[in-house]
Structure 1
């Protein structure tokens, strides 16, 4: 069985879960063709990401002219299919703020993807995120190419389902995947009732071997780590404000922010304004080994997000036997158990966040270790990447049979 993964920008530092999924599929014997629209605009820190980039075909590398010529040639050979796909792209373009011209570009990309799939003998297409990558996959099917499925992560898809034509994408797909029960429920909102049976949950996964020997909690002052792209939805600014409230009482507390992004200057300014330069460290993006090192050095992981799907960094922190402080949103409560594996707080409440951190700081170390071990057992039981890959393979096989 050969599966084409259709992606927008790949690989990206924040999309390591896709890389792990692809490699788990290949370990299980599935042949995977990586087709991304564009390369990462940021330097790739992790050697594994650089390996993935070398193994990926980039559609836009062919240039706009060759893509449009390819679409025109396909229209000469299969005018009916191209006409149907064109109408579908214009329907999606009417609903989207990006407009019809952008969707004409997606149609040209789809013609190239369809050509590559035919040349490579692809049986089925899978996309990640219900955004433009799935638009391309849907148009490939309309052009007469393989059927498609896709994984929805959120929150972007849940913020603008109509603009993304999410209902059409769900109803036309062989199946769709939510990464949590919450995510699956949100897809139910936009799919026909008959489509519900084709919407399943496949958890994103970790590689247990990468966390085979978690480090014990270090003695001494407490250290927190927060990992994620520096963007408003991740809530790092709220965490800086919480640290400002905590610092007078807990001057030895240290926070490490791992990641980067458009909000970095604002975070740096806030850290300086509160006089927290010695209490908060920004590392930039780290490779997977660097992330594991930061988790090993921390006593807990904090993620004060306002909008999420089900964050990989929570899974990684729990696999490293670290308690988690997170917000009570999306799929997070399906994994983090208050009082058992960590703390959950209302999103956007800086005082509740500060109170949770203070409670963690007052918790004896042996209790934190017990919570960390409980979280480790929970995540290993629910989020093994090879188990998730096996579920996907079963779905792919059923789709290929149904598509005949």
Structure 2
């Protein structure tokens, strides 16, 4: 039986990779979107050494060109971040437009503003603006990001589609069970262990709180300089309060979320982080920095707690408030899950993408 020709060619990072974009795309695939919308997925990026990355990018660009020429998808949908990711996807969309396909530029990079305005020269800024304005549609993850893109590229057609997250089963449960109270004093961080994620401030906050909360323990799940972070914890006198399990796969992540009492992500810049969505879907109280699209997801005192970035004292105060009030954690966690269910479920987001595809392909 001949394979169904793709209606949508989707281009992004390897689905088995680590990081937020891979997580987003894996959720879309698992939801059945690829089958329902006849999506063929091509990866132009994979983790590894420089040579391996170049070979993979070349193979992905070649597969994109062959698919566009031979199978003529109606739409090419590219998921992009900054730097090399943007360059690869801008070339993909240039090829697709030349062949006559409609194109979608889907922005994920939390530092895209700095990339476009500060780190790019005049020619690259023009190319970024050209790519956005020549795309049939630009997808932003939040209203604030959409406002920036419309200001930066006034001729671009911009729509807001948030990231989607599956809703895990929740029980009334005891400490350590999914949806339950978690282990008292246990704070979870998920993300790359790097300064941009606010990791230094988080260690400082734990050091400030340790004397008041004997049960306090911070679990930092993610890749990075683990030895450096062990040294940083030791220098602050909190080595016995920190666990560094490294990158966590889906099952390990879910297990850590179940055990957590509070989830914390004090990033300096973000788009709409999957880690926060996953924690909220699991019914956890969240403390996060008020950057990027986070304030549109987390409403301070309603379904989580917001703190300014770069402020260890404010972060410590927010964590103390959550750790010291069981009722507050339970209320915020319940509201967090309700928020995800209403606005960020796979059903809601995939329905929005399907409507966009039908609109661009003229099949409404």
TM-score range, shorter chain: 0.7 to 0.9
Match of 2:26 among 19, 41, 50: 19
Deviation at 1:241, TM superposition (A): 1.1
Q: 1:53 matched to which residue of 2?
A: none
**1:284-295 maps to which residues of 2 (within 5 A)?**
284-295=246-257
Deviation at 1:62, TM superposition (A): 9.1
Q: 2:77 matched to which residue of 1?
A: 126
Classify 1:212/1:27 alpha carbon distance in 2 versus 1 (closer, same or farther; 3 Å). farther
Match of 1:391 among 352, 355, 362: 352
For the 8 Å contact 2:191–2:223, the answer to whether it is kept is yes
Q: 1:336 matched to which residue of 2?
A: 298
CA deviations over 1:155-192 (Å, ceiling 9, x no partner): 23211125353211111111011111111111112212
**1:315-394 maps to which residues of 2 (within 5 A)?**
315-363=277-325, 365-394=326-355
Classify 1:334/1:144 alpha carbon distance in 2 versus 1 (closer, same or farther; 3 Å). same
Q: 1:245 matched to which residue of 2?
A: 208
Q: How many Å separate the matches in 1 of 2:261 and 2:292? A: 25
For the 8 Å contact 2:303–2:332, the answer to whether it is kept is yes
How many residues in Structure 1 have an aligned counterpart in Structure 2? 336
**1:68-79 maps to which residues of 2 (within 5 A)?**
none
1:36 matched to 2:36: no
Q: How many Å separate the matches in 2 of 1:316 and 1:8? A: 20
Give structure 2 stretches of 5+ with no counterpart. 1-5, 172-177
Q: 1:150 matched to which residue of 2?
A: 105
For the 8 Å contact 1:224–1:256, the answer to whether it is kept is yes
Deviation at 1:9, TM superposition (A): 5.0
Match of 2:162 among 176, 199, 203: 203
Q: 2:220 matched to which residue of 1?
A: 257
Q: How many Å separate the matches in 1 of 2:56 and 2:269? A: 33
Deviation at 1:135, TM superposition (A): 1.0
CA deviations over 1:216-269 (Å, ceiling 9, x no partner): 1046x31110111112211111101111111122232011001112x4333221
Deviation at 1:142, TM superposition (A): 4.5
Give structure 1 stretches of 5+ with no counterpart. 43-57, 68-108
Q: Which stretch shows the higher mean deviation, 22-31 or 303-312?
A: 22-31
2:196 is paired with a residue whose SS is helix
Structure having the higher Rg: 1
